[in-house]
A and B are shown apart, each in its own frame.
Chain A
Amino acid sequence: MTHWYMLTLVGKDRPGIVAHLSAALYDGGCNLGEASMMRLGGNFTIMMMVQFDGNISALKHMVEPVAESMGLHLHLDRIEAKLHQHLEPDVRITVYGADRAGIVAHITGALAEAGLHILDMDTSVAGTEEKPIYIMQIEGHAAEGVGALQSALDAVAEKGVEAQLETIDTMIG
């Protein structure tokens, strides 16, 4: 019986993490599904769907030595998962401004009330230590229409924060 697991790994970034990890998983008979991997604040982070015939302790036993050798924290969950279930985003929201606490909470709170289902989001802190800027990009589904989101965004937009919304009109050819 084959199962899906969500494998989460976090540790100090260095070259070769993905290659080492994926080789170990391949040699151990795993198949990889969808994954998100990125460098966040000097750490490398991996969230990866792994398909494996054995139980969770067998998978942990397989991955632990690799994770330890690369200084990565390991977390494993058995998950219910299906591939080929992508939801298509129909709206993109980009926000940037001088970094301060509360930007994400205020904006996503207002958007959630107006029907936004976030499908993909990433944020970054750029600029300099003295003058950091916060940059946020969201793709999602506007369950109550794009107009509702635009109104919510206009209402919550604060001085010094630039917020833009555009529709994603996917061309299917």
Chain B
Amino acid sequence: MAVLEILTYPDERLKQESVSVERFDDELRAFLVDLEETMRAGPGGVGIAAPQVGRFERIALVDCSVTRKPVPNHGFIVLINPEITEWDGMKVGREGCMSVPDYTGNVIRAERIKFTALDGYGERHEYECEGFEARAVQHECDHLDGMLFLDRLVSRRNDLFRRKVYQSK
């Protein structure tokens, strides 16, 4: 077990696309343990992607069961070769990133998503999630494509009014 070093932007490697995982072996599972430890070591971190620690494979973890304010969540999720298959709704929310210290910004994400991912044994799972957890999954999947939340910033000053829900007549 080890807390791995987090790459921080402007490290160019964060902008590269990661490759699919092909081997589901003990080495991979040992890496997942280190990756989880690294995620939990970062203050407030609810997700982490392998490229953030310099391993450019399509691996990420999310755990939204530990937030200060409880949110709907699936607990600890391993996302290997994840694929988001459905997106629904849009919402502005605040994001930060362990690879971009001392900055947070507003990003538009889908409110609800469906996605598939493999676990450490190569078994396929399907998930449906919403809100904060859906945001975390989208943020981590972006890392696998070399995207940072900085690539998706929207204005801090505009478009922040909470949308009222209009009752249908």
Contacts of A120 in B (CB 8 A): 156
B28-78 residues at the A interface, CB under 8 angstroms: 42-49, 62, 67-69, 71
Contacts of A92 in B (CB 8 A): 160
> A173 touching B160 by the CB < 8 A rule?
no
Q: How far is the CB of B133 from chain A (nearest CB, A)?
A: 9
> A84 touching B136 by the CB < 8 A rule?
no
Q: A45 to B33: give the CA distance in the assembly, Å.
A: 51
Contacts of B68 in A (CB 8 A): 169
Any chain B CB within 8 A of the CB of A168? yes
Number of A-B contacts (CB under 8 A): 69
Partner of B94, one of A84, A85, A94, A171: A171
Interface SS, B side: mixed
> A172 touching B102 by the CB < 8 A rule?
no
Known contacts A94-B162, A169-B68; 20 additional CB pairs below 8 A are A84-B101, A139-B156, A169-B69, A170-B94, A170-B96, A171-B47, A171-B132, A171-B136, A171-B139, A172-B42, A172-B43, A172-B44, A172-B47, A172-B98, A173-B45, A173-B46, A173-B62, A173-B95, A173-B96, A173-B143
List chain A positions with a Cβ less than 8 A from chain B. 84-86, 88, 92, 94, 120, 122, 137, 139, 164, 166-173
List chain B positions with a Cβ less than 8 A from chain A. 42-49, 62, 67-69, 71, 93-98, 101-104, 132, 135-136, 139-140, 143, 149, 156-157, 160-162
